[in-house]
Amino acid sequence: MMARITCDMPESALSALGLSVNEFAREMRVAAALLWYSRGEISQSVGASVAGVSRAEFIDELARRRISVVQATTEELQEETHRE
């Protein structure tokens, strides 16, 4: 199930970026998903869904934008490596 969200955007924003309405909407979805993922608020699967892409494409986008694919903290990683 998808919710529909409508927002008004100045034409100048679209023309400044050189994007069509559909391209702008897609970029907003991707940007929101990347931001929320980088904050640890959503998972890769949810991020991919928000962005409207596959999980593999979302991971590729994270890498392109130099956002860590791993959400674990240093402490969590250390705990995992020291478990018996």
Task: Reply yes or no on whether the pLDDT at 51 is more than 70.
Answer: yes
Place 84 in a pLDDT band, splitting at 50, 70 and 90. low
Kindly report, residue by residue over 19-38, the tens digit of the pLDDT. 999 999 999 999 999 999 99
* CA dist., res. 2 & res. 36, Å (int): 18
The predicted model scores a pTM of: 0.79
Note the pLDDT of residue 58. 97
Note the pLDDT of residue 74. 73
Indicate the average pLDDT of the chain. Answer: 89
